[in-house]
Structure 1
């Protein structure tokens, strides 16, 4: 069967491509392979220049979601093209860890609110701005995490931000349902090898630990997360709404693996 995902000829806006390791890039190239037309949105002219080789011959627009006027310009640019948007990939997150990792209770108001604005509220702002450009059955997919209730020190204060992002899916679904059938879902991968994650203190050790906890003994790949996102963007997932689909290769079922327990107890003895 050809075009199983029914994505041929669909227009998908993909935000957040930074380099070849980006989740957004894996999603975008898979969409292209499935026959979709991708409109790329990056956060700055500098990022547009740094990705010029990677995104050669593709349409790339600039929008820093911290600024409403840039979101409005993105909407106007897409409207002027007269195209209908069948999907939106919201793949952006930022947290200010410039002072290093601190206990959660020492998070500053400025740090927290900036992270909420860029990593969570930007989904609301983009969805609202593009509502008249969306196809009535458009699919919006954001990138979350596999769990927001595990207090991992090396993730800083981002888990509560992602929890707000997950909750927003239900409320966007409800409010959009008064005039459309636009769907809002999230992909929640466990630890991935990306350029952004490489800068998080202690992340590499956590990644290596995840590889031991996952039953298959190998971590989730970025492509595996991207494949789920592409499915959620496709009409084939039309019955899935307001969900975070965890992509953790079974890590969450195996925290009490007997070999890991034995290793910890042996180390402590």
Structure 2
């Protein structure tokens, strides 16, 4: 069927493009390829300058979501520029202060946890509230979460609980907005990806390669695969999906007892030197 996603003539706002590897960029590019008009929000003037080539000729606005008043200003600026109504928003924002390195979870500092929560999770609530008057009927809001909130990777630090908060916000926003609107909220629970953000996580390469062995196809996700699911959730074709996290992990979460992994793990155990 031609134009299945029906994005032609529609306008979307995308938060979180940092570079060509960003999930937000893959989603935005997919939307544009399907005929949508995309507005971009970036954190700072320096980030905007670094994206001059990538976003040349596209509408780009500044908004540091750590400052609540900036979200309200952004909504007003986009409306004043005549870019509404919005048919959807992509929230692909996350931040954690790991300047002191990774520590055991119980050593997490209050200030770091609250800052990361404000930027990575509560910003979705503030964005939804600020743009509520500017949504088109049936608009869709999509955020990027993680594939499992039950795992406890050592090198993910306190972001696990914060991603859990983000997923909960999705459900509560979906319920809250349903009282007087048809705007939908969903999350894409993405498995491990090759992004610039992930590259800064200590030990991520080993975790990424381990996760690849656990996928059913023995091949990790491509960022475009996550973008494809996000695009579907942003389209009216997903009108029956609301308050949900759609997991995109190539089967990783259901393959804990993979024979190859068991063999490798037990082999390593057998070869471990015994203590005197």
Query: Same fold judged by TM-score > 0.5?
Result: yes
The CA deviation at 1:153 is: 0.5
Alpha-carbon distance, 1:258 to partner: 1.0
3-state SS in 2 of match to 1:144: strand
Question: Is structure 2 residue 29 aligned with structure 1 residue 29?
Answer: yes
Contact 1:144–1:165 under 8 Å retained in 2: yes
TM-fit CA distance, 1:175: 1.1
Equivalent residue for 2:118?
A: 117
Count of aligned residue pairs for this structure pair:
269
Secondary structure of 1:136's counterpart equals strand
Provide the residue aligned with 2:274 in structure 1.
Answer: none
In structure 1, distance between residues paired with 2:124 and 2:19:
21
* Pair 1:189 & 2:194 matched: no
The SS at the match of 1:141 is: strand
TM-score normalised over the length of structure 1: 0.99
1:252 counterpart SS class: helix
Post-superposition CA distance 1:89-114 (Å, at most 9, x none): 00000011111111111111011100
The answer to whether the 8 A contact 2:175-2:243 is kept is: no
SS at match of 2:162: helix
Say whether the 8 Å CA contact 2:140–2:235 is kept in structure 1.
yes
Bigger Rg, which one? 2
1:26–1:223 Cα contact (<8 Å) kept: yes
Distance 2:45 2:180 in 1: 35
TM norm structure 2 = 0.96
Query: Whole-Å Cα distance in 2 between the matches of residues 136 and 122 of structure 1?
Result: 22
Determine the C-alpha separation between the residues in 2 that align with 1:35 and 1:139. 17
1:54 aligns with 2:73: no
Structure 1 match to 2:95: 94
* 2:139 corresponds to: 138
Q: What is the aligned partner in structure 1 of residue 68 from structure 2?
A: 68
SS of 2:133's partner is: coil
User: How far apart are the structure 2 equivalents of 1:145 and 1:265?
Assistant: 28
Deviation at 1:119, TM superposition (A): 0.1
**Separation in 2, partners of 1:37, 1:190:** 28
**Contact 1:78–1:133 (8 Å) recurs in 2:** no
The residue aligned with 1:179 is 180
Structure 2: distance between partners of 1:69 and 1:100? 31
Counterpart of 1:236? 237
Instruction: Let me know the Cα RMSD of the aligned residues.
Output: 0.7
Distance across 2 between alignment mates of 1:52 and 1:94? 23
- Contact 2:16–2:24 (8 Å) recurs in 1: yes
Q: Does 1:6 align with 2:6?
A: yes
Whole-angstrom distance in 2 between the partners of 1:192 and 1:176 = 31
CA drift of 1:53 comes to: 0.3
Partner of 1:131, secondary structure, is helix
Alpha-carbon offset, residue 70 of structure 1: 1.3
> How many angstroms apart in 2 are the aligned matches of 1:106 and 1:147?
23
Q: Which consecutive residues of structure 2, in runs of 5 or more, have no partner in the other structure?
A: 271-276
Q: Which runs of 4+ in 1 moved over 2 A?
A: none
Q: Once structures 1 and 2 are overlaid, which stretch shifts more, 73-82 or 243-252? A: 73-82
Match of 1:81 in 2: 81
State the shift of 1:254 in Å: 1.0
